[in-house]
Amino acid sequence: MFVTAYLAFIVLAGLCVALEIAVRRLTVPQTSQTAIANPAFQRFQRLFLKAYLLALWADWLQGPYLYKLYRHYNFLESQIAILYVCGLASCVLFAPVAGWLPQFLGRRQTCLLFCLAYSICCLTKLSQDYFMLILGRVLGGLSTSLLTTTFEAWYVHGHVDVHDFPKEWIPVTFGKVANWNHGLAVGAGLVANLFAEWMGFGPVAPFLLAIPSLAACAWFVLFDWGQEDQQEGQIGDKHTPLNSLNAPKFQTSTRARFWRGCQDGLRCLLSDRRVMLLGGVQALFESVLYIFVFLWTPVLDPHGPPLGIIFSSLMAATMVGSMLFRLATSAPYRLQPGHLLCLAVLLAFFSFFMLTFSTVPGQPRPRESLLAFLLLELACGLYFPAVGFLQGRVVPVERREVVLAWFRLPLHLLACLGLLALHGEVSGTGAGEAGTGTRHMFAGCAGIMLAALLAVISLFTVGRNDADLRLESTRLEGEI
């Protein structure tokens, strides 16, 4: 497995380079050219990217060795499953809070809270106390919720309300984030492997490496973003009525707006069948990914592969899928995102179907399992831009954040139920039979993907002649 892991990474890295060259040959639309030529926009974009990419880097560093760390502390698989459930449950609980905190504390202060909470989460990994590790998972759930909402909220506010840049330029920045994000994920696996295995610091090393990145992120947010806010009279959103005599009234109105927004989002979800079906696809597909994040390490680790290199290979496979999506939707080919979404779900179903046969207890086939994992990540590279395009077309902009929060609720609940089911199955068997629960879980994931495939087909049936679900003859860079 050691040689297989390195060969897989080399092949995928070469494929990424070849596809990147092919993608760069595509014509850059005028919107991107105008945005790139604007010095004020470039400065504001760099201001945001410096901090946000450091936050993403710190997040990715913690991916390859989380399960390995808990096993290093001699916890059982059932105990580790509970730790993962605590992380997912905290995401469910903190998702509404993450949307409300920027209004209460200010966007910049909430970003600083993310850096502090995630740093404490990393420090808890030094402890072998189970309840301390549970606290770390809870803080990790809070941090993940803040990472996915608060930084983008600061950028969109500055882009539209402060600098008054065209809204069409927003995808240019987040397109850059998406491109960098893939590279950061691949690099994080390599760096984590270097410190954890090659240099022999153990699985806790990547978590400690994340702390300086979070400190640097906090520095940029505190000083660079603070300077930006001062120039625009927006220091930490201190202009809000929270610092006035009307604070209780403001808090009441904020809570009222929050609940009204939740009701509007649920009404939008229930009134449009396209939104409902798309939300169902997302909940089914992404809940299975959370289960995959838990299971890939125990499936491969007994065979001695370098986990950091495996993680980098998985992320490179995602990058390949993303680049294939960009090529497939470009002018020469003009494939529709809906068709690619169907292909992604089908590939994911096939990968879990493979895993039910490659994880037979007593007859494991780790190379086939690795191939199935890579196929699943390639499917993810196709899935996320496709579902992002369709969300942008069927979910109203003003309600998108709340509707997506309603999507995430069943998503996390499904993942929690799956991990709890695995915990119960593992707890009731001997150590030598633990692989049976894993195999059953993969079979269940294949069934969930089959349900997601039926939801995609239903979405096609409903929107067969719907122009909103199709690419136009011309499109803006970054819309997908």
Q: How far apart are CA 119 and CA 248, in angstroms?
A: 32
Question: 362 — alpha (psi -120 to 50), left (phi > 0) or beta?
Answer: left
Q: Residue 34: which pLDDT band, with cuts at 50, 70 and 90? A: low
Q: Reply yes or no on whether the pLDDT at 247 is more than 60.
A: no
Q: What CATH number does the domain located at 39-175+198-239 have?
A: 1.20.1250.20
Summarised one tens digit per residue, pLDDT across range 320-344 is 999 999 888 887 777 888 889 999 9
Instruction: Give the residue-averaged pLDDT of 350-361.
Output: 88
Q: Reply yes or no on whether the pLDDT at 28 is more than 70.
A: no
Higher per-residue pLDDT: 39 or 307:
307
Please report the pLDDT score of residue 245 as a whole number. 41
Would you give the end-to-end CA distance of the chain in angstroms? 36
Which tokens is 200 given? Answer: 């022999």
Higher per-residue pLDDT: 371 or 402:
371
Q: How far apart are CA 444 and CA 343, in angstroms?
A: 20
Number of helices followed by number of strands (H, E) in the chain:
18, 0
Q: How far apart are CA 472 and CA 323, in angstroms?
A: 20
Please report the pLDDT score of residue 233 as a whole number. 46
Summarised one tens digit per residue, pLDDT across range 56-65 is 999 999 989 9
The pair phi, psi for residue 75, each rounded to 5°, is: -85, 150
Q: What is the CA radius of gyration of the chain?
A: 22
3-state helix, strand, coil in the chain (%, to 5): 85, 0, 15
Q: Taking all residues of the chain, what is their mean pLDDT, rounded to a whole number?
A: 80
pTM: 0.84
Summarised one tens digit per residue, pLDDT across range 128-159 is 999 999 999 999 988 988 887 888 888 888 88
Contact 162, 232 (CB under 8 A): yes
State which amino acid sits at residue 318.
Answer: T
Q: Reply yes or no on whether the pLDDT at 207 is more than 80.
A: yes
Instruction: Give the residue-averaged pLDDT of 16-35.
Output: 69
Q: Reply yes or no on whether the pLDDT at 345 is more than 90.
A: yes
Please report the pLDDT score of residue 231 as a whole number. 53
Q: Reply yes or no on whether the pLDDT at 36 is more than 70.
A: no
Q: Residue 215: which pLDDT band, with cuts at 50, 70 and 90? A: very high
Angle at 476 between CA 475 and CA 478, to 5 degrees: 125
Right CATH for 272-465 from 3.10.129.10, 3.40.50.150, 3.50.50.60, 1.20.1250.20? 1.20.1250.20
H or E segment to which residue 460 belongs:
helix 434-462
Please report the pLDDT score of residue 429 as a whole number. 42
Please report the pLDDT score of residue 225 as a whole number. 81
Q: Reply yes or no on whether the pLDDT at 201 is more than 60.
A: yes
Outline which parts of the chain fall under CATH 1.20.1250.20.
39-175+198-239, 272-465
Min mean pLDDT across 13-17, 41-45, 89-93, 471-475 is at 471-475
Most confident of 28-32, 389-393, 474-478: 389-393
- Please report, rounded to a whole number, the percentage of residues in the chain having pLDDT higher than 90: 30
Higher per-residue pLDDT: 134 or 33:
134
CB-based contacts of 190: which residues, under 8 Å, 6+ apart? 308, 309, 312
Please report the pLDDT score of residue 306 as a whole number. 92
Burial class of 331 by CB neighbour count within 10 A (0 to 12, 13 to 18, 19+): exposed
- How long, in residues, is the chain? 480
State which amino acid sits at residue 453.
Answer: L
Higher per-residue pLDDT: 104 or 265:
104
148: helix, strand or coil: coil
Please report the pLDDT score of residue 379 as a whole number. 94
Please report the pLDDT score of residue 376 as a whole number. 94
Most confident of 209-218, 240-249, 284-293, 404-413: 209-218
Instruction: Give the residue-averaged pLDDT of 410-428.
Output: 66
Q: Reply yes or no on whether the pLDDT at 412 is more than 80.
A: no
Higher per-residue pLDDT: 435 or 333:
333
What single DSSP character describes residue 239?
T
Most confident of 27-31, 152-156, 432-436: 152-156
Contact 312, 10 (CB under 8 A): no
Q: Residue 262: which pLDDT band, with cuts at 50, 70 and 90? A: low
Cβ atoms < 10 Å from Cβ of 480: 20
